[in-house]
Amino acid sequence: MGNPIGSDDPATKGPVPFCLDLASQGTGAQTRLAQLRDAITALAGSGYIGLEEVFKTHLLPLGFPTPGQQNAIADHLKRHWFDPTSKEAYFDPKEKTTEKYAKGVIDAIEKSLAGKPDPVQLNTWWVVDNPQVKLLTLSEADDSGATVSGSVTLLILTPRPRDDGKGVTRVLGRAQAYVTDEAKDGSIVTRRLPNAQMPDTP
């Protein structure tokens, strides 16, 4: 999630998806994910107000090393995603975007932590052109409930937000995304969505 997606692009991996993926990888993943889950859960009584601050504390330092970067992204998240009173909000307040997002992330974390013996890596994407805000978690589990898939996919499904004039979010990290659709000349083509050079902006 971040700035609007390019006008021809259906999906991207913005700062929060990028950092969620990082949180689930390598040494300390179980502790990082459990702490993030607990911090989000602690916001439940307030309707998850302050979700962007939890992300700033527990997620953003993994991919964005400077306080300036972290503060800019957190401010963007509050104004465009998590403050239903903001005049710059991307989505209708009736969507309850903050609660959906918080609970969707918790669910994905739980599925990751259900991997044995280690958490299963998260693979998170923001996908637009959906009629409503929804978070969709995809995984495979055995009869005991343990996650056995190679990854847990979290899709942040939203309507396409308007362009706020601050550029577009590109695919961050080593992730790759391709789309097969109709070109302007009517032919069906597969193209790769553009990657960002470095994760240095919201």
Please write the tens of the pLDDT for every residue from 62-77: 999 999 999 999 999 9
pLDDT at 195: 83
User: What confidence tens digit (pLDDT) does each residue in 170-180 have?
Assistant: 788 888 888 89
Residue 3, domain member (yes or no): no
Asked if residue 11 has pLDDT above 70, the reply is yes
| Residue pair 16/55 in contact by the 8 Å Cβ criterion | yes
Residue 26's domain comprises 11-192
Mean pLDDT score, 52-61: 98
Q: What is the pLDDT of residue 166?
A: 57
Q: Is residue 19 part of a domain?
A: yes
79 or 173, higher pLDDT: 79
Percent of the chain with pLDDT over 90: 74
Chain centroid to CA 130: 15
Average pLDDT score over residue span 150-165: 86
Tell me the sheet residues that pair with 182: 188
Tokens at residue 128, please? 């637009």
124 or 163: which leads in pLDDT? 124
Is the model's pLDDT at 10 over the cut of 50?
yes
Q: What pLDDT, on a 0 to 100 scale, did the predictor assign at position 125?
A: 95
Mean of pLDDT over the chain = 90
Q: Residue 3 pLDDT > 70, yes or no? A: no
Q: Is residue 177 part of a domain?
A: yes
Q: Is residue 197 part of a domain?
A: no
| Residue 4 falls inside a structural domain | no
Region 14-42: what's the mean pLDDT? Answer: 97
Is residue 156 included in any domain, yes or no? yes
* Residues 9 and 179 sit within 8 Å (Cβ to Cβ): yes
User: By C-alpha distance, which of 195, 178, 122, 186 is closest to 154?
Assistant: 122
**Number of domains composing the chain:** 1
Task: Classify the C-alpha dihedral 8-169-137-22 as positive or negative.
Answer: positive
Domain membership flag for residue 46: yes
Give the global pTM: 0.89
pLDDT at position 9, please?
82
Per-residue pLDDT, 162: 76
Q: Which residues contact 31 (CB under 8 A, 6 or more apart)?
A: none
Question: Does residue 22 fall inside a structural domain?
Answer: yes
